[in-house]
Structure 1
Amino acid sequence: MSADPRSGDPDAPEEWEAVFWDVGGVVLDLESVRAAHTAFVADLLERRDVDATIEEAIAAWRSAVGDHFRERDGTAFRAARDGYHKGIEAVVGEPIPRAEWKPPFREAVRSSIEPVPGAVETVERLAARDLHVGVVSDVDDEEGRWMLEQFGVREAFDSITTSEEVGRTKPDPAMFETALEKAGVAPERSLMIGDRYEHDVEGAAEAGLHGVAFGAEDGPAVSYRIESPLEILEIVDGERDE
């Protein structure tokens, strides 16, 4: 399949049946997530009177959260909320009950996160068409749905498939197979938009879907490369040179 967005996908169907979205980096702007975490850690330092600079605290947070995911067994699911719990303990020096840290964490996220420009409009416009619009994401189930609600697009999605639900993370084929089964669509008539080549694009291609790279690395599994989510509308409408 071609990685050149102007050459199109030689295997593209006459009509698409489904468009699946990753969340982080595709719908949710990741820089805004990092800003949310920084704001939360800064507030944590102040509330718990921790003797550390914000730079030191953020480094401890990122190391602990990163280790949490790096210790994952293959594609087995690991909840982000458990990673955050470990990150908080690394910053403060002791565990804090989840009921205590979750409300301020949620508020920091709510006030900081932003959608990727064009993503909300594209999802809404796709939802008005006769095709399935779904999510295939490694996010925690509750948190992923909550973030989509913050952007007002939760109800625009016909299905949401998360790693917590499936028990695996992308590129495990179970993620894509579950999403396709929910949608009742053929993989060869489906698009998957992602910002990571191996997980989103190649994983989708191996399951028979057409991978759309949005910031993802190049590679043979890329059927389309886009610079804005709005370009998905051109693909669905067959306006790319095929």
Structure 2
Amino acid sequence: MPFRTVLLDTDDVLYIHPKPDRHLQDYLAAYDLQPRHPKVVQKALKAAHFDVLHGRISRQDYYDAILTFHGLPQQALPYGRSVLLADAAAIQPIAGAVETLLELRDSGIAIAIAANTEHPTDDLVTWLEDAGFPRDLWWMVLTSCEIGLTKPDPAFFKVALQAADISTDEMLYVGRDFYELSLVGEQGIMPVAFQPDNPENIGGSSIIHSYEELYQLVLG
């Protein structure tokens, strides 16, 4: 059965952050502070990150926790939130992504986003539009913070399938994480690993290295 919907992850699939945390680093430097290592921040704020992805706490509260962990004083938090948002919005499309997804859409394929993120749909779509992805490209955008579910929970993908009114074998999911992809495959959805720098086939997923290969996989 031909695919009717392509569901895509966001970070390192649709876009990259060419200068991660650049605005935060500059802001911390103004207070004579050094940025903490991302893995240290991730470990310290694991519970808060889980909660914000599921919409249990606000993005503002999560950002305040990040800024405070870096050592910023209370009065620096309001502007600090805008700094973190600026870093989140500073994205660059993966080569060929815009053109290929438009071609797929014009060929009748529904293009959708599935993101574990603290950012609401409107912000995400606006940043993508600013980066060159037309706003009307997206048939559907699912963000974990808004639906209260995260990938690879089967319930997350059930929402996508019900919204699209299609069967599992009519949907293809493009992601980066092999563990997530393996669980997606167990649900009957075809998992595709976007690995431009990794030629190995790991975890039973199909591997693509470019958007040209995605086009061939979907329509070839």
Q: Which runs of 4+ in 1 moved over 6 A?
A: none
Give me the whole-angstrom Cα distance separating, in 1, the residues matched to 2:211 and 2:116. 19
| Greater alpha carbon shift after TM alignment, 146-155 vs 116-125 | 146-155
1:92 to 63, 71, 79: 71
Contact 1:50–1:92 (CA under 8 A) maintained in structure 2: no
Aligned to 2:82: 103
Q: Identity of counterpart residues, as a percentage?
A: 22
Give me the whole-angstrom Cα distance separating, in 1, the residues matched to 2:97 and 2:203. 24
CA shift in 2, pair 1:98/1:81, >3 Å: same
TM-score (norm 1): 0.75
Aligned to 1:131: 109
Structure 1 residues 107-131: Cα deviation after superposition (integer angstroms, max 9, x where no partner): 4444x42111111222211121212
Give me the whole-angstrom Cα distance separating, in 2, the residues matched to 1:100 and 1:237. 47
- Residue 233 of structure 1 and its aligned partner are, at CA, apart by 0.8
5+ residue gaps, structure 1? 1-12
Aligned to 1:10: none
1:25 aligns with 2:12: yes
Aligned to 1:6: none
Letter paired with 2:187: A
SS of equivalent residue, structure 1 residue 23: coil
Give me the whole-angstrom Cα distance separating, in 2, the residues matched to 1:229 and 1:178. 26
SS of equivalent residue, structure 1 residue 57: coil
TM-score (norm 2): 0.82
Aligned to 2:203: 219
SS of equivalent residue, structure 2 residue 92: coil
1:185 to 166, 183, 189: 166
> Counterparts of 1:150-169 in structure 2 under 5 Å?
150-153=130-133, 154-169=135-150
- Residue 92 of structure 1 and its aligned partner are, at CA, apart by 3.3
Give me the whole-angstrom Cα distance separating, in 1, the residues matched to 2:160 and 2:76. 34
Give me the whole-angstrom Cα distance separating, in 2, the residues matched to 1:85 and 1:120. 34
- Residue 157 of structure 1 and its aligned partner are, at CA, apart by 0.9
Letter paired with 2:207: R
Aligned to 1:40: 23
Aligned to 1:69: 46
1:230 to 188, 212, 216: 212
Give me the whole-angstrom Cα distance separating, in 1, the residues matched to 2:142 and 2:80. 27
Aligned to 2:153: 172
SS of equivalent residue, structure 2 residue 112: strand
Letter paired with 1:18: T
- Residue 206 of structure 1 and its aligned partner are, at CA, apart by 2.2
- Residue 228 of structure 1 and its aligned partner are, at CA, apart by 0.7
Give me the whole-angstrom Cα distance separating, in 2, the residues matched to 1:125 and 1:80. 34
- Residue 73 of structure 1 and its aligned partner are, at CA, apart by 6.1
CA shift in 2, pair 1:130/1:17, >3 Å: same
| Greater alpha carbon shift after TM alignment, 76-85 vs 155-164 | 76-85
Aligned to 1:202: 182
